[in-house]
Amino acid sequence: MKHFNKAGHSSTKGASGEPWCREQVVDPARQAYLKKQLAITVDITSGRFPFRGVKLSRADVEWLLVTHTDGHGKGSIDWKFANEREREGLDLRGADLSQVDLSSLPLACLRGGLTGDERLHASPEQAEAAAVNLRNADLSEVHLEGAELSYACLMGARLEQAHLEDSFLNRAHFEGANLTHAHLERANLIEASFERASLWEAQLQESLLIDANLTNANLTLAQLQGANLARAMLKDTCLTKAHLERADLSGANLKCAVLVGAHLEYADFAGWHPPTLPPAEEGKERQLTHLELADLSLAHLEGAFLTDAYLVGSILIGAHLDHAVLVGAKLMGAKFQLADLKEASLEQTNLAGADLRQTHLEGANLRQAYLASADLSAEVLQSLRELDSNFPEVLPPADLRSAYFDSSTNLEGAILSKKYGESHSHRSFLVALTNLKTTIPGQKGNKAKQEHGSITLADANWNNVNFAVIDWAPIKHLGDEHIALQKRSHDGHRKAKAIRIAEYEAAARANRQLALALEQQGMDEEAARFAFKAQNLRRALLWRQMVWQGKVARTILPYIFSWVLYILAGYRMQRILGAYITLIVVFAVIYYFGMQPGPSPITSVKDVVQSIFSQRFFEAIIISITAFHGRVFSTPFAAGAWLQSVPAFEAICGFVLEGVFIAMLAKRLFGK
């Protein structure tokens, strides 16, 4: 008599009385056939197994479980009891169980493939012949703990809440399978294929996924703590909020993977942890981990080992990377906005084009880090454009606007700007840094090539970071200035006037802030250079505010005064000296021709030379010098002549220039 349980599955109240029995007991003829098959002697070499190629039903499996004996016990195996785990499970090697409902069956220690020792002496074809076929089978809530399912076909199978703890599933096929909430703790999944499989919140702690294929798989909220994913293929895989604490990801391919909010604390991307490989895998060389264009926003990577990892174009917005080890990592074009890199090790990293705005770098080690612009090599560019067709060929210098530093941040030997025409080789970099020029859309000819400048750093919080360890000589202008000078954006569209004004304000502010920070550390020569840049940019800003925004009344006087200072002194000591000599000579020439009696006529070059070395011109120089310093009490000019007012005007010019000179001298000598 067939009955149905609450879940809608049919059940039989037969002699077994097992709650998982849902089908009628098979008839005697079928029982006899199954007994006959069980009596077949296994021969791995010839591929002979009891149920190879035999189509079995759930009723067959239920009867086989009830009647199963192995010399240590009878019936199904209960994994909860340690003594039961030594028993030999049901042998279904080679059986066809495709599309069969096997849900909730106690199939612990099932033999659905060759054991590890048997595979050592068998060919791949023989191992495949022994594999059970479970394609599209319903294995939800099934108990397969300790099962041997190497090479098994589980494509499209339902494995929701299935128990596969400590099972052997190497080279098994799970393509398109549903393993939501499945238990795979400590499972051997070496070289298993999970393409497009759903592993939502699956339990995979300490599992072996070496060389596994998880392309396009969904591992959202999956538990992979301590799992070994060395050399695993995780391209385009979703690992949102997954837990991979202390997991081994060395050599894994995580290109375009989504790891938003994932927990990767102390995860090993570089093979630093002691090896957890089985004996057959120990001799294999570990490869570098690839995370190009991966999304690691808000991910937890505290203390993670990312030495020499490829993170080109990856998204790390708001990521937690404090104490992470990124020595030699390729971080070109990576987005680190709001990321926490406190006390992270970034030695010899390539940060060309990296966006580090509002990033916390307190205590970070950026020794010999490369932050200047870079041209990607053809090989690297091709591989990146296979993932993102719009990935830029030329990467600008790093963007450090509003970043946070402190006195323990190490910038020793950091490269902040690349010299024009200079090539630079850097350890393990996949970039050919050969040319600093790039084409700006919408511009033509030679003008289309512009220098990127150095890093962009407006509003950076320096907090007494040591600037003395940086070579400032190659930095001709900051990246903020380069941005302000560009009339068009990266997409080729002309920038709005309001945007350009804001960019000029940021550029002037960046240079002024850097000048002040350098001055506080006694680096007056470098500070003066950036202060000069700040004044030039401020003058350009005042002009644009006057012309574009009509703020004439507020900007005209500062603009004129800025030009006067630039012409007379140029904010540099040598310019003041030049202005002083020029004014003395100009006024001396005026006095030369204005003194009584008048000069001799000049008709030839010889006359010019003679006049310069004449007593008359010497007297004119003396009058100009004394007038410049406001000490002329009488002049050799005729009464009422207009030349009598010239010394007064020269004295005013001298007063202004002396004031500028004294101010700059005091600033240079005393820093005030």
Confidence at residue 553, expressed as pLDDT on a 0 to 100 scale: 80
Report yes or no on 99 lying in a domain.
yes
Report yes or no on 247 lying in a domain.
yes
| Residue 367 near residue 410, CB atoms below 8 Å | yes
pLDDT digit string (tens) for 473-506?
Answer: 888 889 999 999 999 888 889 999 999 999 999 9
The overall pTM is greater than 0.85: no
406 by Cβ neighbours in 10 Å (0-12 / 13-18 / 19+) ranks as middle
Number of domains in the chain: 4
**Residue 198 or residue 3, greater confidence:** 198
Cα Rg of the chain, angstroms: 40
Confidence at residue 602, expressed as pLDDT on a 0 to 100 scale: 63
User: Could you tell me the residue range of the domain that residue 361 belongs to?
Assistant: 204-415+422-435
Distance of CA 528 to the CA centre of its chain: 34
Ramachandran bin of 555, using left for φ above 0, alpha for ψ from -120 to 50, beta for the remaining angles: alpha
Per the prediction, the chain carries an average pLDDT of: 85
Taking the CA atoms of residue 567, residue 573, residue 578 and residue 580 in that order, the dihedral angle to the nearest 10 degrees is 90
Same domain as 441, residue 391 = no
Q: 571 falls in which pLDDT band (50, 70, 90)?
A: low
Structure tokens at 25: 């007991």
Report yes or no on 198 lying in a domain.
no
Q: 241 falls in which pLDDT band (50, 70, 90)?
A: very high
Report yes or no on 458 lying in a domain.
no
Q: 648 falls in which pLDDT band (50, 70, 90)?
A: confident
CATH code of the domain covering residue 375: 2.160.20.80
Confidence at residue 447, expressed as pLDDT on a 0 to 100 scale: 35
pLDDT digit string (tens) for 111-137?
Answer: 999 998 898 889 999 999 999 999 999
Cα diameter, the chain: 146
Considering only CA atoms, which of 409, 417, 387 is closest in space to residue 477?
417
Distance CA 529, CA 531 (A): 5
Structure tokens at 355: 């966006």
Instruction: Give the H or E element holding residue 4.
Output: strand 2-4
Task: Answer yes or no: is pLDDT of 196 > 70.
Answer: yes
Q: What is the mean pLDDT of residues 508-530?
A: 91
| Residue 192 near residue 153, CB atoms below 8 Å | no
Spell out a b/e string for 214-232, using b for 16 or more CB atoms within 10 Å of the CB, else e.
Answer: bbbbbbbbbbbbbbbbbbb
Confidence at residue 558, expressed as pLDDT on a 0 to 100 scale: 79
Same domain as 578, residue 552 = no
| Residue 105 near residue 142, CB atoms below 8 Å | yes
Task: Answer yes or no: is pLDDT of 434 > 60.
Answer: no
Distance of CA 631 to the CA centre of its chain: 67
Considering only CA atoms, which of 263, 258, 223 is closest in space to residue 245?
263
Instruction: Give the H or E element holding residue 394.
Output: strand 394-395
- Distance (Å) of CA 554 to CA 114, 538, 557: 87, 14, 7
pLDDT digit string (tens) for 397-432?
Answer: 999 999 999 999 999 999 998 764 444 433 333 333
CB-based contacts of 557, cutoff 8 Å, min separation 6: none
Q: How many CB atoms lie under 10 A from the CB of residue 185? A: 20
Task: Answer yes or no: is pLDDT of 443 > 50.
Answer: no
The residue with tokens 């007064």 is: 648
Same domain as 334, residue 347 = yes
Q: 444 falls in which pLDDT band (50, 70, 90)?
A: very low
HEC states along 305-362? ECCCCECCCCECCCCECCCCECCCCECCCCECCCCECCCCECCCCECCCCECCCCECC
Report yes or no on 192 lying in a domain.
no
Distance CA 325, CA 466 (A): 22
Task: Answer yes or no: is pLDDT of 333 > 60.
Answer: yes
Structure tokens at 96: 């066809």
Same domain as 388, residue 255 = yes
Report yes or no on 457 lying in a domain.
no
Same domain as 400, residue 293 = yes
- The H helix count followed by the E strand count for the chain is 13, 6
| Residue 463 near residue 407, CB atoms below 8 Å | yes
Task: Answer yes or no: is pLDDT of 183 > 60.
Answer: yes
Q: What is the mean pLDDT of residues 64-76?
A: 88
Confidence at residue 504, expressed as pLDDT on a 0 to 100 scale: 94
Distance CA 231, CA 208 (A): 11
Same domain as 578, residue 551 = no
Q: What is the mean pLDDT of residues 553-582?
A: 73
Q: 657 falls in which pLDDT band (50, 70, 90)?
A: confident
**Residue 153 or residue 615, greater confidence:** 153
Q: 283 falls in which pLDDT band (50, 70, 90)?
A: low
| Residue 250 near residue 289, CB atoms below 8 Å | yes
Which of 358-362, 578-582, 647-651 reaches the highest mean pLDDT? 358-362
Confidence at residue 557, expressed as pLDDT on a 0 to 100 scale: 81
| Residue 547 near residue 578, CB atoms below 8 Å | no
92 by Cβ neighbours in 10 Å (0-12 / 13-18 / 19+) ranks as buried
Same domain as 442, residue 410 = no
Q: How many CB atoms lie under 10 A from the CB of residue 212? A: 29
Q: What is the DSSP string of 179-201?
A: -TT-B-TT-B-TT-B-TT-B-TT
Task: Answer yes or no: is pLDDT of 16 > 80.
Answer: no
Structure tokens at 274: 């002691």
Report yes or no on 399 lying in a domain.
yes
Same domain as 146, residue 217 = no
Considering only CA atoms, which of 581, 578, 591, 541 is closest in space to residue 562?
541
Same domain as 291, residue 237 = yes
Cis ω before 274 (30° cut-off from 0): no
Confidence at residue 67, expressed as pLDDT on a 0 to 100 scale: 92
Confidence at residue 415, expressed as pLDDT on a 0 to 100 scale: 93
Q: 6 falls in which pLDDT band (50, 70, 90)?
A: very low
Task: Answer yes or no: is pLDDT of 159 > 90.
Answer: yes
Same domain as 38, residue 1 = yes
Spell out a b/e string for 522-532, using b for 16 or more CB atoms within 10 Å of the CB, else e.
Answer: ebbebbbbbbb
Same domain as 341, residue 331 = yes
Same domain as 222, residue 354 = yes
Report yes or no on 564 lying in a domain.
no
Structure tokens at 448: 């289309």
Task: List, in sequence order, the alpha helices (H) in 443-523.
Answer: 479-485, 497-520
| Residue 290 near residue 270, CB atoms below 8 Å | no
